Amino acid sequence: MKKVGLTVEALVILPMAFFLVTCDIPTGTLHEKPLFAKEFWGEWIRMDTGDTWYFASNYRMAGGRAYTDPVNMVRQSQNVIKVTEGTGANSKNYFLYASRVRNSTFEASAVMDDGARALFSRANLLLHGATAAVEAVNNALDKQTVEIGDNGEFEAESIIAGDDYIVTINGYGFTVTPQTDGENVGTLTLTNGVNIKTSIEPKSAGAVDLMRLYSGESYNLTLKFTNIGEQVSTAMEYRLTLPPGIEITKIGDSTTRLDGGDLQSIMPGITRSVDITIRCGSISEEYEFKNIEIDTEDFYGKTWNDSVSLRVNRERVTFNIRSNLAINGVVIVPNGKAYHFKTASSWNSNGVYSADVTVPRYPKDYLIAFSGASADSEAKYSFVADRVPGTDFANYTLTGTEGLNRFWPNGTEGQAATVRHDQEVRAYLLMNEANYYKVKFGE
């Protein structure tokens, strides 16, 4: 089997005029000292606009293009970068917040098909002491080697959830895309000829966030069967085994046969897709990983066992934000993603700007941050979890014990003001500043 070629998926954001634009991803030999250090690698959200920046070792993605010039930025904390544009009185500060950075892991297991279809086990250590090379598709310098355990299991650390990785074991290459921290990406079968790898993703891009699946809800997803081998996979058939708490209510157009189906033949390098509707049942923990077992078999009797993993959350919480002018910010889920918001008004809002952000609820500390005001867009705002905050902004005063400056200074993550989840916050966003709040849901 040939190793899959490396590609870079462009992240669409608005290009900034002060960056030097190059049309292609940088190629050739990388410098010993990268343009951007490891702590910057990954995806960041520009808080005042919601634009996405992606840093690799020797380029930055913006608007579908790669930029290779330096950026005037300072790492304020593990999660925050302060960027300065311009100089003097005309300088502008804005902030990047970590969205998908190198703080996640994924698990997998390996199976060697040597004709006897022997699985790694303590009794049959076919590749005991073997290693798996894990390399980021977007960043050639981001690579690691991990040891394979007695039963074929291994874990890759410091990965970026949502990015593609190539895993190479004994010359066999697999592309995997862990969507969430701690996800099991299934079984990698080391075999010649036909080879199949399965994965799962939302049916429609942007319609479902796999980090925000909730018990009691139904979702439209797509199973993907990819022929990663060098021969035609002839007349494939698949069967599904569901874990407790997961129900399939529809496969394709069928609501009767819900345990599998036919895939026809799959050419090398081609993916066959199967749309499914799943329903997540109740769970007892804050979140649970649900593994769907997938068995496939071709016309000649060659079989594969794989799985896909879904992270299901038990509860949700909605941060309700109101302001007298449009205001930008992010809500950061502990051990999860950062979600950008921008308040907006409607024809019947009476001049009140609103945004509601629903995320998984855990008994931990969340962070909510506001930024991006100019001299003409400084705003009064309020927020609280799971209820509508006050909007009588004309009566809010800037000073005093209950004034809009009561939480200041909270201009960095380290200075974040601590508030209870049921505590309503009223504040004022100054130009070129950020406001941070640590929202407590635990004891």
CATH number of residue 215's parent domain: 2.60.40.10
pLDDT of residue 123: 32
pLDDT of residue 335: 73
Give yes or no for residue 440 having a pLDDT over 90: yes
Helical ranges in 78-200 per DSSP H: none
pLDDT tens-digit map of 76-108: 888 889 888 877 777 788 889 999 999 999 999
Rounded Cα gap, residues 98 and 92, in angstroms: 20
Q: Please indicate whether residue 73 or residue 121 has the higher confidence score (pLDDT).
A: 73
pLDDT band at 206 (very low <50, low <70, confident <90, very high): confident
Rounded Cα gap, residues 250 and 32, in angstroms: 52
Question: Average pLDDT in the 249-264 region?
Answer: 90
Residue ending a domain, choose from 302, 326, 357: 302
Average pLDDT over all residues of the chain:
86
**DSSP secondary structure letters along 25-75:** ---SPPPSS-SS-GGG-EEEEETTT--EEEE-SS-EEETTEEE-S---EEE
**374 and 274, same domain (yes or no):** no
349 Cβ partners below 8 Å, 6+ apart? Answer: none
Rounded Cα gap, residues 432 and 389, in angstroms: 25
**290 and 346, same domain (yes or no):** no
Q: Is the peptide bond before 15 cis (omega within 30 degrees of 0)?
A: no
**384 and 323, same domain (yes or no):** yes
Flag the least confident range among 12-16, 148-152, 400-404. Answer: 12-16
**Domain interval for residue 419:** 316-440
C-alpha angle 248/242/117, rounded to 5°?
130
pLDDT band at 243 (very low <50, low <70, confident <90, very high): very high
pLDDT tens-digit map of 168-202: 999 999 999 999 999 999 999 999 889 999 999 99
Q: Which of 187, 173, 189, 196 is nearest to 114 (CA)?
A: 189
DSSP-derived letter for residue 98 is E
pLDDT of residue 86: 79
Instruction: Quote the tokens at residue 58.
Output: 């020797």
pLDDT tens-digit map of 20-54: 333 455 544 444 578 888 989 999 998 888 889 99
**258 and 207, same domain (yes or no):** yes
Flag the least confident range among 80-94, 242-256, 261-275. Answer: 80-94
- Is 420 within the bounds of a domain? yes
pLDDT band at 6 (very low <50, low <70, confident <90, very high): very low
pLDDT of residue 406: 87
- Is 250 within the bounds of a domain? yes
Rounded Cα gap, residues 108 and 183, in angstroms: 9
